[in-house]
Structure 1
Amino acid sequence: MKLSVPLEFAPIYQIDGQLDRLLKNIELLAYLNPNNIEQEKKRFFGSKYTVEPEFTYTRLKFDAFKTQRRLFSFRLEEIEDEVIRSLFEDLLYHYSGMVQCIDTIGKGDKFYYNSLKTFGTPTDKDVQNAQFILHFKDVVDDNSIKKFSANQAAEYFAEFSKNYQFDYKIVQSTRLASDAMVKNSTKELLIKKNGKFSANQLKILAHHEIGVHLLTSFNAAAQPLKIFSNGFPKNVETQEGLAVYSEYMSGALTLKRLKTLAYRVIAVDSLRRGCSFIETFKQLHLDYNLNRDDAFTTVMRVHRGGGFTKDYLYLTGLKKIYNHHKEGNSLDDLLTGKVTLKYKKTIQKMEGLGLAVKPVHHNIAYTTNDNTNDKIDFILNNLR
């Protein structure tokens, strides 16, 4: 979608297009999801938790060194607007970090330190928030029993998608670190082929993956600039915060789900303290009484690649979006693409200049708060 813009913005479009062509094959999770999750899970359980899993990964489809060199060859000084030039400078450093992450997957500490640089690690306050959530007693009901197959999940998502005016593919996969995820580059919703889903989990995934991740993919595709699709710097926290907030507003967010996010923080903190896969698994499974399947999945998500710290951002992102919306702020500008709360004013300026447009698709959960669980509100209000 091209809009009529002043000639002075021509360098922005030129650099944006060059960046997009360079970043076509750079999607971290496409490389980071292990190829042999089920085999290693079986081997790990068979060893009675004594053998470290050995995950394998997809080979790179691009030259990391040449990509890095080209990233810093762009003539950003030709962008006259200081705010937008600053955004593009931040973008180059962000994409460089992503390239370094992908290039070092499976290379132990090299990947871990690149992950730290790109995603950070939980603070003591974040760990205390997670422990606060884990103090609450579990509630089990029929909606939390996993009884639906991947085929039934696909049918549910197809029906749910009638709430939105965009078309995408639903693909079943055996190479997922989660039960479902969106592949941004191909506009696909991937579902774990051998997974089992509860009724509430289907509602969570629908509002999370379709209501936010797919929605922002399609909104990004309607933008004049490709950076909205390729992603703003450190957009993960905002995007995951929006997605979990969509679960909350739809009434799907449960204590069990919040605990899942809390366990991820504990696992990333365990990684930060130098614990192995086995040690982190035993901490969740034995010390926190998390069932072994969920413990394995949580630890695998965090230890894959050599140490992936992203997962603590779901909880911090939720708190930031919850506070932002509670203060009366609109979330519309944060749905324009894979953007970051930090750059909200920049996005608004770009809209004023004709370099961005308001979102085409809107999240159906954000219009009315359907949460009826007072305990969830109590927890969110009291996170530090």
Structure 2
Amino acid sequence: MKTHNTVTSNSLLDIDKSIDALVKQIELLSLVNPTNIEAEKTRFFSSKYLIEPVFKYPEINFDKFKLHRKLFTQKIECIENNEIKNFYEDIIYTYSGLIQCIETIGNGKKFYYNSLHCFGTPTEIDVENAKYILHFKDTDKDSPAFVPKYNAKEAESFFKTYSKQYDFSYHIKQSDKISAIAMVSNHEKSLVLNSNHLYSDNEIAVLTNHEIGVHMVTTMNGLLHPLKIFSHGFPNNEETQEGLAVFAEYMSDNLTVTRLKELAYRVIAVNSLAKGYSFSKTFSLLHNQYDLDRETAYYISVRAHRGGGFTKDYLYLTGLKKVYDYYRSGNDLNLLLTGKVSLEYTKEIQLFIDKGLAVPAKYITDAYAENSNTNKTVDFILKNLK
């Protein structure tokens, strides 16, 4: 005869497995990246920044309505632990929101409102923090470490060397269809490098710690649990994951004022969406008012306007602040490396580990071993963010 706990556990594992099968095909980031970024850049620049880019997106190859329906037929009432039941309710609403985002990619305001629902938008304090950062001079960008010199193929060797410390393997691919200079595809367990980009020594140092040290580490840790949701992502995991990744840059002494300003510009760009700015107006704000070079201004504008208005980018700065405060309060960062988890659910993570439904993090971010930061200005900024 099964015990009460076993029945609960089996119901939970069945529901988790069912959700796993449904959400495997949902990777918003790979679907919201335009496929014609470079062609539209040429057109936009040659028009003297007047013609609005017209972005194209990958085909969506699943039945979105059927996915919604199957998500909401999960029998979460069978989960007898209230905390866990509430958690899975949050999961279902979160993934339903992501499907709505995917349904409306390229559909202007509809996508923007769905993005708002999933990721929120900067508060006045977030915008004040961004403007505060932008007051600082970024003299570090004049150093030789910031000179672009490695193509994507050459950059690969640095990632391979850095990754030797971790007992896992992953693929490295190149793409000219991503708006970032590098990204981890959680679903494919691969690192994607932007084939149009020339990487500097500073960018290599930042990206190895950010993409491999955190994003790939949490991808690989997420696969080790009985519960699959650690792999696909908790609600609001993007803020925590990006916060952890930028914090790894800080701990490894690679976070610069230049990088912090990049994150601040992203907040300004996302805030421009809330003001109803067009792509060209966001670009003009960054390029003319903030004196950002046109290449950087273009890519930051793409990141904010892709899909029809993608608000996720402001979360890098809010996530960094939250993880920085969490660390300074003496909390365990390793708990946040267990997968694609969120700061808001640390109690649930520990509960899952205690119940044998999850395991402690096997792979630990190298940069977290000790604080190697020597940049006093960066420290000053992080301590004084509101």
Q: Which residue of 2 aligns with 1:80?
A: 80
Q: Which residue of 2 aligns with 1:305?
A: 307
2:211 to 199, 209, 212: 209
How far apart, in 2, do the equivalents of 1:99 and 1:233 lie?
Answer: 14
The letter of the residue matching 2:238 is: V
Q: Which residue of 1 aligns with 2:251?
A: 249
Q: Which residue of 2 aligns with 1:339?
A: 341
How far apart, in 2, do the equivalents of 1:91 and 1:182 lie?
Answer: 22
| Superposition deviation, residue 194 in structure 1 | 1.7
How far apart, in 2, do the equivalents of 1:71 and 1:151 lie?
Answer: 41
The letter of the residue matching 1:158 is: K
The letter of the residue matching 1:83 is: E
Work out whether 1:148 is the aligned partner of 2:116: no
The letter of the residue matching 2:317 is: L
Per-residue CA deviations over 1:123-170 (Å, capped at 9, x if unaligned) read 000000000000011212110111111111111111111121110000
The letter of the residue matching 2:71 is: L
Work out whether 1:100 is the aligned partner of 2:104: no
The letter of the residue matching 1:357 is: V
How far apart, in 1, do the equivalents of 2:361 and 2:6 lie?
Answer: 22
| Superposition deviation, residue 7 in structure 1 | 3.5
How far apart, in 2, do the equivalents of 1:137 and 1:17 lie?
Answer: 50
* Correspondences of 1:9-158 after superposition (within 5 Å): 9-139=9-139, 140-158=142-160
How far apart, in 1, do the equivalents of 2:167 and 2:41 lie?
Answer: 39
Q: For residue 251 of structure 2, give the secondary structure of its aligned residue in structure 1.
A: helix
How far apart, in 1, do the equivalents of 2:372 and 2:17 lie?
Answer: 41
Work out whether 1:285 is the aligned partner of 2:272: no
The letter of the residue matching 1:120 is: G
Count of aligned positions = 380
| Superposition deviation, residue 23 in structure 1 | 1.1
* Correspondences of 1:151-300 after superposition (within 5 Å): 151-300=153-302
Unaligned runs of 5+ in 1: none
| Superposition deviation, residue 378 in structure 1 | 0.1
How far apart, in 2, do the equivalents of 1:126 and 1:14 lie?
Answer: 40
1:379 to 378, 381, 386: 381
Q: Is the 8 A contact 2:8 2:78 kept in 1?
A: no
How far apart, in 2, do the equivalents of 1:349 and 1:328 lie?
Answer: 20
Q: For residue 96 of structure 1, give the secondary structure of its aligned residue in structure 2.
A: helix
Per-residue CA deviations over 1:94-150 (Å, capped at 9, x if unaligned) read 000000001100000000000000000000000000000000112121101111111
Unaligned runs of 5+ in 2: none
Q: For residue 366 of structure 1, give the secondary structure of its aligned residue in structure 2.
A: helix
| Superposition deviation, residue 8 in structure 1 | 2.5
| Superposition deviation, residue 6 in structure 1 | 3.0
Compute the RMSD of aligned alpha carbons. Answer: 0.7
Taking structure 2 as the reference length, what is the TM-score of the superposition?
0.98
How far apart, in 1, do the equivalents of 2:209 and 2:138 lie?
Answer: 23
Moved over 2 A (4+): 5-8
